[in-house]
Structure 1
């Protein structure tokens, strides 16, 4: 019996170039793989296309590759093909250059020798990045048809719409039980939920939060929810003169009602953040308790030299006005922006211009 599934994802992409695609669709869709991967249960790194590695001094690394891996065009993956793939990633992606800090790469059979520009013990862990996925660079249509080593090869790609995938029968880690997969995109959470309920798709990533209870009540549906590393954060532009004052930044921080966001916008499917990492993680630092609220924000602004006059927070006769951008495609972000904007306007006299992209 022919086995196929339809998967609906929340981010669309117009390019499948794994070395620059920021949505990581080629890896998520099973087209590409990296040398190293993250064991999500133990939060440790483990071999994937690499078999082992050594780098005692943190600068000179030897990576032994698996010898049973083929690209989806039938060519064998060896050290030379991996070297060329890594070199292309470094050339095409400045962020990867900065992350890997590679000085030289040499290849011999199934062994890579890499030297970093400085002692860098974290080097191996950086190789989990999807933008260093290994592809056959002799196949030059990187945008529309990358050739990787994963369990599925690309049959067709409609930019911004979907990928059609076929099982790769010579996959090194065991042939998939699925014959094909349709990996489609829809950035509207409500539309994704409706597609699932109507049977148009089999699996939906990030359905509308408000729909989760009704999905759980449907005996034909299975809802899986798990803690992730994703953090909703407000990034402050330190190039702006006002934001260079730590008291202004502290005022904005004090205005964020994290618990209200968790309870009313994310409907309990999150936990309040004290920093960028879950407090349950072993490496998460501890933070001193910070006072929050509008009154606390006003105190910080007063320390920065601002006064509340005629309902406006101002300094030298000029009102403090800020601009905040949010992704239009994420409704929960828009709601968070609205909550913060209202609180700022009515409680502090600070004006916030809301923009969406």
Structure 2
């Protein structure tokens, strides 16, 4: 999830993220600029913060990550040349300056000096080169096909200056440098197989241990290059069951829970020990439909599924009223968004479309999803809704890592057993490329991307490629309008909703916030 600062962000008056712990903006700003708060008690330095999330983590490899939970943890340990501020705008991180040539083919970075990786290795231009070459040379990495396969030359201009040349203009290239978080070159060269399980970066926290399905622990890096008071340890615990997360927050066993179940909102809002935050998001909820498998290869069937589902009821039943219907292929806060109009529930129209497609009596289908409570509720809702048009849905829930293997392990559309997948996707509001190409371009079929609908439309492919190859914002706007209109009519998804995020935090914790894309930022996590 990444962004480019040369785009015009007309809508960024909205706050991109919210500080969960209720600390003042002034305190956060002071921490981010390296100032310390001498008022913090020494005892807080040795405490631990526990964060309970609803899903397991999949990988700690920042160059090959597709889920928000994993990316959140990585962001505490690893940093990129660039990053993003709370308003979603690109900002220098490991690079102190950057420039782009007039023809948008050369990207030059001047690096901050005196930075160490957690294993003592120096951060410099050579370390950057090792990281980017890893992405360029390994086609199995997700970032490879997202701009880094366009790099033709890497020139080290000095110990702390580096230039990249790409073969053709690529609009979101700057955002990709934000996504490419830096790993210790020693780890890449000597033990790259350990990266997914125990990464080594330059961030404010360093990796300690990961017990799959139970917890992942990180610890404060005392030699971090940005000074500030931070908690000693943070432990992330995957807790799929909603009630268990809420109980942990109430007792203090967890300092933060995300997401906070909507049905528990009222009871927690009156709890003096808890702070509840509501955050507008860019998270789209949908059911991915395999367009290459019968009967889903008929657009009439896919449209029928959309007309069968009551989107407002979905928001009310599954999200307890928090959120909005998804009325395009991207959420409304995404740049170049155009409202396509909601597929309003129309059972008769849905049945008519099925009849035209030769399925007057319906059919049986399978829907996949992970094991967390909200996902189960969502799949059960879809099951009930589609029953009204004669479509019998069988639910198959899997632990997150197993589900990922089943979906992304298939090498071709013919190999996959996937029919429908209840899932979500998020991208930074300014990163229109990441909100479209990985999901709707035919080059993005698994395992290369997240086009799990196996959607292929040659016009859409050409429009996406053209939009990514120009810096002309008016041209991009025109192209993305056509992309949205065409894909929405083709219905590779059942379009459901856009989340409003709910987060619960203990009142004595500060410096933690959730981004609109769902990532948890803990860079300045501490006790008050």
Question: In structure 2, how many angstroms separate the alpha carbons of the residues matched to 1:89 and 1:210?
Answer: 43
Alpha-carbon distance, 1:222 to partner:
0.5
**Which position in structure 2 is the counterpart of 1:352?**
393
**Which of 293, 300, 322 is residue 365 of structure 2 equivalent to?**
322
In the alignment, structure 1 residue 10 sits paired with structure 2 residue 54: yes
Deviation above 6 Å: which 4+ runs of structure 1? none
Deviations 1:309-337 (Å, cap 9, x if unpaired)? xxx23xxxxxx3322222222x2222222
Unaligned runs of 5+ in 1: 314-319
With 290-299 and 85-94 compared, the bigger mean Cα shift is at: 85-94
In the alignment, structure 1 residue 125 sits paired with structure 2 residue 125: no
**Which of 62, 65, 69 is residue 111 of structure 2 equivalent to?**
65
Query: Which structure carries more relative contact order (alpha carbon 8 Å, separation 6+)?
Result: 2
**Which position in structure 2 is the counterpart of 1:19?**
63
**Which position in structure 1 is the counterpart of 2:415?**
none
**Which of 62, 85, 94 is residue 49 of structure 1 equivalent to?**
94
**Which of 229, 242, 267 is residue 295 of structure 2 equivalent to?**
242
1:103-118 residue pairs with structure 2 within 5 A?
103-108=152-157, 109-118=159-168
In the alignment, structure 1 residue 136 sits paired with structure 2 residue 184: yes
Q: Secondary structure at the match of 1:234?
A: strand
Retained in 2: the 8 A contact 1:255–1:340? no
Question: In structure 2, how many angstroms separate the alpha carbons of the residues matched to 1:80 and 1:244?
Answer: 49
For the aligned residue pairs, the C-alpha RMSD in angstroms reads 2.4
Question: In structure 2, how many angstroms separate the alpha carbons of the residues matched to 1:29 and 1:44?
Answer: 16
Question: In structure 2, how many angstroms separate the alpha carbons of the residues matched to 1:144 and 1:303?
Answer: 51
Question: In structure 2, how many angstroms separate the alpha carbons of the residues matched to 1:344 and 1:16?
Answer: 37
**Which of 121, 144, 147 is residue 75 of structure 1 equivalent to?**
121
Normalised by the length of structure 2, the TM-score is: 0.60
Question: Rg bigger for which structure?
Answer: 1
Alpha-carbon distance, 1:25 to partner:
4.8
Change (3 A) 1:207 1:20: same
Question: In structure 2, how many angstroms separate the alpha carbons of the residues matched to 1:36 and 1:72?
Answer: 19
Change (3 A) 1:340 1:21: closer
Retained in 2: the 8 A contact 1:33–1:150? yes
**Which position in structure 1 is the counterpart of 2:131?**
85
**Which position in structure 2 is the counterpart of 1:317?**
none
With 261-270 and 280-289 compared, the bigger mean Cα shift is at: 280-289
**Which position in structure 2 is the counterpart of 1:161?**
214
Change (3 A) 1:135 1:278: same
Retained in 1: the 8 A contact 2:60–2:74? no
Alpha-carbon distance, 1:134 to partner:
0.4
**Which of 85, 90, 94 is residue 39 of structure 1 equivalent to?**
85
Retained in 1: the 8 A contact 2:315–2:323? yes
Q: Secondary structure at the match of 2:228?
A: coil
Question: In structure 2, how many angstroms separate the alpha carbons of the residues matched to 1:344 and 1:173?
Answer: 53
Q: Secondary structure at the match of 1:34?
A: coil
Alpha-carbon distance, 1:291 to partner:
4.4
**Which of 267, 279, 282 is residue 320 of structure 2 equivalent to?**
267
Change (3 A) 1:27 1:79: farther
Retained in 2: the 8 A contact 1:9–1:184? yes
In the alignment, structure 1 residue 233 sits paired with structure 2 residue 286: yes
Alpha-carbon distance, 1:32 to partner:
0.6
With 227-236 and 289-298 compared, the bigger mean Cα shift is at: 289-298
**Which position in structure 1 is the counterpart of 2:382?**
340
Q: Matched residue pairs, number?
A: 342
Question: In structure 1, how many angstroms separate the alpha carbons of the residues matched to 2:50 and 2:102?
Answer: 45
Q: Secondary structure at the match of 2:199?
A: coil
